[in-house]
Structure 1
Amino acid sequence: MPSRWVHEHRFPDSTALAHALAGELRVDLEEAIGVRKAASLVVSGGRTPLKLFGQLRTEKLEWSKVWVTLADERWVETTAEESNERMMREHLGKDLAADAHFVGLKNPAPTPEAGADWSWRALSRVPRPFDVVLLGMGEDGHTASLFPGSMTLARALDPSAPPGCVAVNALKAPHARVSLNLAALLDARRIILHIEGEAKWHVYQRARMPGSTAELPVRAVLHQKEVPVDVYWSP
């Protein structure tokens, strides 16, 4: 379903994708620094972006003027293996990118319900609108931690809600989580959906068709008409 809001970029393998996307992100961040003396990048967890992070952290850029944060986080200690913040710092916060400002979402609150507002306040240091929001997608159609079946999904996807963080307890996802809501994800100049593998390509194709966002939450990102979306895919 062609759309002037969604543009697809397909690559033969993940290495080619990582090199191309890292260069694209460098240009976006450079342009932001040129305009407002600072840039902001929102990234996602999981294994998919690791090769990209390895390339991006070597790109020549005024990293001291770049703020990096997360689209979502598992409510675990930041030293835990499952922590997105730990992944972000270990795989992106090295080499040239070590000079960037990294802001996590996890805080000392005992639950994401108690800590969600605190998480959002932490992002007050990050320049907004975000220059780039880099999202992934699961084979169930979730993006960030907006999972189908989550009790808070309708509130998280409410287009009239103010930007913020929401607590997420999804039956099929390990760990309670906190996630940016749809309004926060759309408070951006550009969104990039980074997916790999044939299975995710088929889910993405389904999500491009009209249907329920409760079934495939990524539809809320793909069908909005506020922020351009670029889809980067490799087998």
Structure 2
Amino acid sequence: MNAKINRHDFADRLTLADKLARDVASRLDAAIKARGKATVAVSGGGTPKLMFAVLAQQEIDWSKVTVTLVDERWVDTDSDRSNARMVAEHLFHHESHTAQFVPLFDRAHKDNVDGALADVGARIDALGLPFDVVLLGMGSDGHTASFFPGGDNLAKALDPDGKDTVVSMRADGAGEPRITLSLPRVLDTRALYLHIEGDDKKQVLQNALDGGDAPIAKVLTQERVPLDIYWAP
């Protein structure tokens, strides 16, 4: 197990959202002051919505922040399944509306996620290494990013020595085809967070910590970057 795991448990989701948002904003602010810019990769789904609302109100120089996604469903932004749409609706308000957003979905290859990999990978690489912050979530099946159990490119995505920046993914539990940052790219960050909520996900996490083989275990056992886990019921 990665000895650099820090657990943060909270009594309720609002308290978690407030603390995590302030911690992330502090990291971004420090990056701006040190290097003149900051980059953050965020996850989709329902869990981060409340935290995004709090993060949007943090008073940092958002014009120097670039936001991208950890993964994306291969749907256009007019779909309610789009992570980009969710981020736009819940994060880019108040102070944060001046942040730059770099999407993973590429309309030029809307019918072929594999055809977009080179262009999207180059777009992410152009942000520079490492990220300042990566925010992960986790599904009840133990997936994080789009590292789905049984995914057609799961081994490639989880290869710790892999050279791909982004990987396509198709799996029974994924719905649409997906595009995801590879594990090495996820771990190429100055700060790594895992945000989960609910007793069911806490148990999935514990199973992975106890030696289970769910994809999240690859994040828990890596030794490249410390991991901060934020949980609330």
* Aligned position for 2:67: 68
Partner of 2:193: 192
**What is the alpha-carbon distance in structure 2 between the residues aligned to residue 141 and residue 157 of structure 1?**
14
1:181-220 to structure 2, matched below 5 A, reads: 181-212=182-213, 216-220=214-218
SS of residue matched to 2:134: strand
SS of the residue aligned with 1:47?
A: coil
Question: Residue 67 of structure 1 contacts residue 127 of structure 1 at CA under 8 Å; is this kept in 2?
Answer: no
Aligned to 1:93: 92
Q: Deviations over 1:142-200 (max 9, x none)?
A: 00111000010011101111141000011122101100010110111111000000000
Given that 1:135 and 1:194 are in contact with CA atoms closer than 8 Å, whether structure 2 keeps it comes out as: yes
2:226 aligned to 214, 225, 228, which one?
228
Moved more, 116-125 or 7-16: 116-125
Q: Is the 8 A contact 1:222 1:229 kept in 2?
A: yes
Deviations 1:93-120 (A, max 9, x none): 1111001011100002121111122211
- Corresponding residue for 1:148? 149
Aligned to 1:124: 125
CA contact (8 A) 1:38 1:127 kept: no
Q: Is the 8 A contact 2:125 2:165 kept in 1?
A: no
Matched, 1:82 2:81: yes
The 1-side partners of 2:51 and 2:128 are apart by: 23
Structure 2 CA distance, aligned partners of 1:208 and 1:29?
29
Say which SS state the counterpart of residue 68 (structure 1) adopts: strand
Map 1:164-183 → 2, pairs under 5 A: 164-183=165-184
CA distance in 1 between counterparts of 2:118 and 2:128 reads 18
The amino acid across from 1:226 in the alignment is R
The aligned runs of 1:43-58 (5 Å cut-off) are: 43-58=42-57
Conserved in 2, the CA contact under 8 Å of 1:145 and 1:168?
yes
1:211 positional shift: 3.9
Matched, 1:28 2:27: yes
Identity %: 43
Deviations 1:3-54 (A, max 9, x none): 5311000000100000111110111011111111100111000000000000
Contact 2:167 2:182 in 1 (8 A): yes
Runs of 5+ consecutive residues of structure 1 not aligned to the other structure: none
What is the number of residues matched between the two proteins? Answer: 231
Q: Is the 8 A contact 2:124 2:165 kept in 1?
A: no
CA RMSD of aligned residues (A): 1.1
Aligned partners of 2:226 and 2:164: how far apart in 1?
18
1:18 aligned to 2:17? Answer: yes
1:220 Cα deviation from its structure 2 partner: 0.6
Structure 1 runs (4+) greater than 6 angstroms displaced? none
- Long gaps (5+) in structure 2: none
Shift of 1:124: 3.2
Q: Distance in 2 between matches of 1:193 and 1:15?
A: 16
Q: What TM-score, normalized by structure 2, do the two folds share? A: 0.96
Report the residue type matching 2:157 in the other structure. A
Distance 1:91 1:103 in 2: 16
